[in-house]
Amino acid sequence: MSFISVLTDFGIDQEYVGVCKAVMLSIHPGIAFIDISHTVPPYDIKGAALMLKNFVRFSPVGVHVVVVDPGVGTGRRGIAIETERGDFLVGPDNGVLMWAAETLIVKKVVALDNKEYMLKHVSASFHGRDIFAPAAAHLSAGVQLENLGSLIDPKSLHLLPHPAVRRDIHAVTGHVLRIDRFGNIQTTIDAQIIRERKEVGIEIGGHKLRIPVVRTFDEVLKGELLLYKDSDGLLTLALNQGEAAKTLKIKTKYEIKIFL
């Protein structure tokens, strides 16, 4: 494989990401890295799963390692998934890999239980360094998946539920999926639901609002709220050149209702 992508909630102000990359380089010198993100909110499995899914849709074939692992050191399994496209997904069996795996189609899976392909001393708190990084590096160097551990039934993997959306004749109800660094509020609601509407009523966080539906931010004045179809095809609530989430005091998992 020509590259390894890395996605974690480690942040960028300490050495953890660099240590994982150093481990991978020591096993497969010269391998290239793509950093998907290291600022996933701590323990945010769904947020990381969404990032990984969005990344693999556009990436070439590679090895993708994810370390967002609140269950580290427990009985949860470490896994590596081979996909029909030829990618490998490496990380904890907590659902974080599964939306990407569904996109790429699972071919076979192993539990990472062969100690020959781990670091000599495995910490109870840093499987990213000691188990996942070595597994990713060995796969990128051409080691066969089955060498890393025991084959397991893909049906036994921990699944991550897709965000629920409810619809009746009056409204569509979803949730805030995530809030980006600009304060834009991405929802779980498919933009196709509102079709060609120019304005909709919404209810979120105790606010009842009429919001224009636009294609670009420039269609409203600076400081005005807007609703648009984002690059994932979902409805996103934003404030032109401002932070919608901060202005409306919205947090992730809040319910949002769009009236039809």
Q: In this structure, what are the phi and psi dihedrals at residue 21, rounded to the nearest 5 degrees?
A: -65, -35
pLDDT of residue 120: 95
User: Tens digits of per-residue pLDDT, 113-142?
Assistant: 999 999 999 999 999 999 999 999 999 999
Output the CA–CA distances (angstroms, integers) from residue 217 to 104, 166, 209, in the order listed. Answer: 33, 28, 18
Q: How is the chain split into domains, by residue range?
A: 3-156, 166-259
Tally: H helices and E strands in the chain: 6, 15
166-259 fold: Elongation Factor Tu (Ef-tu); domain 3 (2.40.30)
Q: Which CATH architecture has domain 3-156?
A: 3-Layer(aba) Sandwich (3.40)
CA atoms of 5 and 248, how far apart (whole Å): 35
Q: Which helix (H) or strand (E) holds 21?
A: helix 16-27
Residue 135 burial (C-beta neighbours within 10 Å; 0-12, 13-18, 19+): buried
Provide the pairing of β-strand 171-179 with 166-167.
Answer: antiparallel
Categorize the per-residue pLDDT at 252 as very low, low, confident or very high, splitting at 50, 70 and 90. confident
Indicate if the pLDDT at residue 76 is higher than 90: yes
Question: How much is the mean pLDDT over the chain?
Answer: 96
| pLDDT for the residue numbered 260 | 85
Which residues are CB-contacts of 218 (< 8 A; sequence separation ≥ 6)?
A: 240
Q: How much is the average pLDDT of 55-84?
A: 97
pTM for this prediction:
0.92
Burial of 252 (0-12, 13-18, 19+ CB in 10 A): middle
Residue 188's H or E segment, with its range, is strand 185-190
